[in-house]
Amino acid sequence: MKFLKIAILFVGISSLAQSKVGAVDVDYILSQMPEMATVQQQMELYGNQLDADLTKKVDNYKKLVETYQAGEATFSEALKKEKQTELIELEQDIQKFQQNGVKLMDIKQQEHLKPLYQKIGAALEKIAKAQNYTQVMQTTADVVYLDPNYDLTVPILNELGILVPKEGE
């Protein structure tokens, strides 16, 4: 029985010795990639396009409101209800467009960032395999301390050909 406990202890220690955990700051890597300037420009253009579409919808709504108010006294009850229904539907359409605008921006941003994440992933995989890492975690604001020897952020940046200014430069 004592032999079994010792054997389990050695297996546990050897498995711990074989495990090497690193960390990477993906957000920092993204911020350093030159392609991010293009992504930001594309997102700005897309946002401007959405704003222009919203402005058209709002202008159309305002015109319909003015038309309704100008002719309200001469409209029959049936025409009033029809115009009011049209205004309500257009108002709801504007609200949906505003709500979906944020979602559309997120989708478009993920679409543009996907190739960058793939580049980072390929570089990470290469570095992790070359340095025998078994696990790599993403650093977050919750990380209080990280030994720089286990931080793969700079090696990944180097693999991507991105020069990082040293502190104080």
What was the pLDDT predicted at 167?
A: 61
Whether the full predicted model's pTM is greater than 0.85, yes or no, is no
Q: In terms of C-beta density within 10 A (0-12 exposed, 13-18 middle, 19 or more buried), how is residue 156 classed?
A: buried
- Name the 3-class secondary structure at 75: coil
| DSSP category for residue 166 | P
Residue ranges per domain, the chain?
Answer: 20-159
Distance CA 107, CA 95 (A): 19
What was the pLDDT predicted at 139?
A: 84
Within 8 A by CB and 6+ apart from 58, the residues are 94
What was the pLDDT predicted at 66?
A: 92
H or E, element range at 21: strand 21-24
Backbone angles phi, psi at 137, to 5 degrees: -105, 155
20-159 classified as CATH 3.40.50.620: no
pLDDT digits (tens, 9 = 90+) for 38-47: 999 999 999 9
Using only C-alpha atoms, the chain has a radius of gyration, in whole angstroms, of 29
pLDDT digits (tens, 9 = 90+) for 14-32: 445 568 888 999 999 999 9
The segments of the chain whose pLDDT lies below 70 read: 1-18, 165, 167-169
